[in-house]
Structure 1
């Protein structure tokens, strides 16, 4: 990981739409339950909160303002917002924007580059290694972060939280030309071409499969 460096609070204080592509090629390294897994990030999505940026984001958990669920999104950049999806999957976001301004970057997909055996034990349903962290719920499972125990863990300082330690490493040389397009499975306008807030490394096999959200297909995109 010589081409990586620890993320700083300052460089994560930009708006999620600005920070998201800079995370590509970086690594989220987590030690949980005594096992360390590192995932090279190949796919991310930006989400703003109420009052964040020039365009309201109807797909964000923080679109209506602060709640107990999204409180971490309003906090200090560099912490991880870990939320529960469909009552099962713990998904991981890097909090961005200044303290008090809501924003996060969802870690949608990646390649396990450290702790492969540990990731395989946690993700027994994966038939091939490329699927270990291919999708946000799979990524959360692979690194061992769980909601609500690890929501708010600091990936800049590495301060432990409930037995886990997280570290975010960024590439010295950012990905030059990331692919971009609509977010995956997001309903309504927020999932159309009006919000090309998904970024990924083109051609990487660990990028998750795209699907339109409810009411966000090509016809809806054309109408926005």
Structure 2
């Protein structure tokens, strides 16, 4: 079952934690790409110098951050990669959660072709380990790009659903990655991941 608008329309840190274990799905070109969310990062524009909309910044790039909860915010980095976020809280408040890593579980061959241009059983051990262990890696494997920006995760073919696996997970709180410019926000423990999951991008840093 797809997550509802009400799920996303809550405190961003809570959503970031509760997205762990949920299933990211992209139905495209006859494939159903799926991965369990194992790592997230929260961004809260009003107090967070790592957020693209800190200080009330409004540019065409960040307008999606001010949108309604439950839409996708996909942006371009380094001129070549995409990152996928979900908008949280309420419309007009620039807050969201970066999906930082997933554990691939569905249509592995298609994910491998998108990422490495070969079938899953042809991948090396290193390629298997690195298939979706980072925000840009998972976007390639899940075929997520700028065309998905502002898509409604509650109604579109790109969505997040509840997991059938009710296994209890242990959540680690840690510093976010790649935000050395963000002054005091560098030390916010706003990265969350499932303890011991092999697909987490970076293990404990605090």
* TM-score (norm: length of structure 1): 0.80
Give the equivalent residue in structure 2 for 1:153: 151
Residue 128 of structure 1 aligns to a residue in which SS? helix
In structure 1, the gaps of 5 or more residues are: 51-55, 159-164, 213-217, 219-224
Give the equivalent residue in structure 2 for 1:53: none
**Aligned equivalents of 1:41 and 1:101: distance in 2?**
24
Contact 2:88 2:97 in 1 (8 A): yes
Task: Report the alpha carbon displacement of residue 47 of structure 1 after superposing the two structures with TM.
Answer: 0.4
Q: Which residue of 160, 178, 182 maps to 1:185?
A: 178
**Aligned equivalents of 1:206 and 1:181: distance in 2?**
16
- Provide Cα deviations, 1:16-41, integer angstroms capped at 9, x if missing partner: 21210000000110023332211110
The CA RMSD over aligned residues, in Å, is 2.2
In structure 2, the gaps of 5 or more residues are: 118-122
* TM-score (norm: length of structure 2): 0.87
Task: Report the alpha carbon displacement of residue 171 of structure 1 after superposing the two structures with TM.
Answer: 4.2
Cα distance change of structure 1 residues 9 and 84 upon mapping to structure 2, 3 Å threshold: same
Q: Which structure 1 residue ranges, 4+ long, deviate > 6 Å from structure 2?
A: none
Contact 1:31 1:143 in 2 (8 A): no
Residue 199 of structure 1 aligns to a residue in which SS? strand
Task: Report the alpha carbon displacement of residue 209 of structure 1 after superposing the two structures with TM.
Answer: 2.3
**Aligned equivalents of 1:96 and 1:90: distance in 2?**
19
- Provide Cα deviations, 1:55-88, integer angstroms capped at 9, x if missing partner: x100001113222101111111111100011111
**Aligned equivalents of 1:38 and 1:92: distance in 2?**
14
Q: What does 1:17-56 correspond to in 2, within 5 Å?
A: 17-50=13-46, 56=47
Residue 162 of structure 2 aligns to a residue in which SS? strand
Q: What does 1:161-180 correspond to in 2, within 5 Å?
A: 165-171=157-163, 176-180=169-173
**Aligned equivalents of 2:19 and 2:175: distance in 1?**
18
The number of residues matched between the two structures is 196
**Aligned equivalents of 2:79 and 2:15: distance in 1?**
28
**Aligned equivalents of 1:27 and 1:190: distance in 2?**
32
